[in-house]
Amino acid sequence: MGTPGPAFGRSNLGSPHHQRHAVRWRARPGVGLRTVLFFAPLWFANCQQDACGTDFVMVDGACMPRCDPDTCGDGLFCVRNVCRPQCTAGNDCLGDDTCRAVQSDDGRLGRYCYGPAVSVSPYEEREHGETEAGTPLPAACDTDEDCTRGSARHCVNDTCKTLCLHHAHCEPAGVCTGTGTTSDGTSVAFCERDSFERGMGQYGSRCSAPNSCDSEAGFVCISAGEGDTDSYCTKPACTEEADCPSGYTCSETREPRLPCSADCGLPAAPPGEDCIAADEIGAGKIYQCDSTAGLVLRVCLQRDFCNECETDADCAARPGQLCARGPDGVKHCTVLCSPGAGSCPWGASTTCEVFDEELGQPTCGHRFGSCRGDGSSCTPCTDDGDCPRGFCTGSSFSGERFCFDEEAACVCDPGVGNCSGGGCPLTPGGLEMNCVPRTTGAPPSVCFGGFTSGASRLGCWL
């Protein structure tokens, strides 16, 4: 999936400020937050069926815990890889399920509750580790046979656990952070509880509109736009990584609007202009003051390609990701890849090589040599904090993320609005940058990205 960034050709390049701020929607009234549709690419690696392993099965391009009808419980059958009951009408079903005449996964014809593939059956487990009636599942075990409830229950370190490959397998009760060994000696990951809010519309919940998250508890929807099936609910106002669940990072975005009254060293917004209220600014609030950037918004975002990490669990909010060293030796979220196959996110800006000798397998790394540059235009970035003289933007074509340096001045020929070059340096990938007018229209213009092919593919690398 591409990144929701500037997508425009030479004829309508316009201001990078305009393009950046055009992709916004207002959160539910009362939240007080105009949520940015961040340029963070929502790219997911498709795992191959043989990569799912014996305990998982491919459903809609993702590895899900394999449903076993023998362990579903009384009156439940595996239907689209979820333990579901038979039904006569829609009100017999839960969640988004409907009552349909279909075959169960083992070929039995009937009317079953049918719906999206989920990792925890709403008919079988209300919370991880409990039956529908709230009875705790068996704790101690010697073999998998002692763990009789659930579709992926295994005896791990002598305790019944639910196996997982990424955090979504554990929703809504926890995350895929446990590691251990099964009774047959296999090393696995399993679900553990955490202390973060994981109810409907909270951390990890999918969202289809700004008001589909639990706004009363302060949650907002991060989305690439209409039709984005990978959107999710999260919270703003983090101050450090510990404020975010496993798999998330506290990401910084500059706020272009001014405060309604002078604050953070900034002047008050002109009368009638959209602005940030004083009660939304400060420690623990949605917006904070930054000595160099003015108003900033810090939000818990799912770690994506190039976000720094320490363990695989740090990257497990996105299926297929792992934590490995890049070309500079720094650990970041990445994916396994096939050299020469074009299998990396961020398009031409990335390459597939064995960077992590301990891992010993090819992973994707940035051709720049690291995932962060010095903040110059077209050097790589993950959020606005990496671009002290501007902001972090990206390409809707490749998903590549790069800095826009607002201090990189250029001049086009008289009468020409936009041009290639104009005194701009070449991008790290050897492309001519675009010289575009500032938002105010006052000279000089500024250098912004390049075009990788023809007149429509914005990027920094050939």
102-121 mean pLDDT: 84
Token pair 């992709």 is found at 23
**β-bridge partners, 403:** 392
336-350 mean pLDDT: 91
On whether the CB atoms of residues 111 and 99 are closer than 8 A, the answer is: yes
Task: Give the span between the Cα atoms of 63 and 453, in whole angstroms.
Answer: 35
Task: Give the span between the Cα atoms of 282 and 376, in whole angstroms.
Answer: 29
At 129, the pLDDT band (50, 70, 90 cuts) reads very low
pLDDT in tens, 35-68: 333 333 333 233 344 557 777 888 766 777 888 8
Q: How many helices (H) and strands (E) does the chain have?
A: 1, 28
Q: Tell me which of 17-21, 155-159, 266-270, 420-424 is least confident.
A: 17-21
Q: Tokens in use for 226?
A: 């209409």
In the prediction, which pLDDT does 23 show?
A: 25
If 0-12 CB within 10 Å is exposed, 13-18 middle and 19+ buried, where does residue 179 land?
middle
On whether the CB atoms of residues 130 and 120 are closer than 8 A, the answer is: no
Q: Which residues contact 251 (CB under 8 A, 6 or more apart)?
A: 38, 40, 298, 299, 300, 301, 382, 383, 385
Mean pLDDT for all residues in the chain: 80
What are the C-alpha distances in Å from 341 to residues 351, 364, 371, 397, 453?
10, 11, 21, 18, 19
Q: Which residues contact 409 (CB under 8 A, 6 or more apart)?
A: 423, 444, 445, 446, 447
In the prediction, which pLDDT does 31 show?
A: 27
| Phi, psi (deg, nearest 5) at residue 417 | -70, -50
pLDDT in tens, 416-433: 888 989 999 999 999 999
Q: Which residues contact 428 (CB under 8 A, 6 or more apart)?
A: 367, 368, 373, 378, 379, 460, 461
Task: Give the span between the Cα atoms of 324 and 371, in whole angstroms.
Answer: 13
In the prediction, which pLDDT does 362 show?
A: 97
Task: Give the span between the Cα atoms of 233 and 255, in whole angstroms.
Answer: 20
> Is a pLDDT exceeding 50 seen at residue 12?
no
**β-bridge partners, 410:** 445
321-325 mean pLDDT: 97
> Is a pLDDT exceeding 80 seen at residue 138?
no
Task: Give the span between the Cα atoms of 42 and 8, in whole angstroms.
Answer: 20
In the prediction, which pLDDT does 335 show?
A: 97
pLDDT in tens, 231-242: 899 998 898 999
361-371 mean pLDDT: 97
> Is a pLDDT exceeding 50 seen at residue 155?
yes
In the prediction, which pLDDT does 30 show?
A: 27
Q: What is the largest CA-CA distance in the chain?
A: 80
At 7, the pLDDT band (50, 70, 90 cuts) reads very low
On whether the CB atoms of residues 350 and 335 are closer than 8 A, the answer is: no
Task: Give the span between the Cα atoms of 279 and 287, in whole angstroms.
Answer: 9
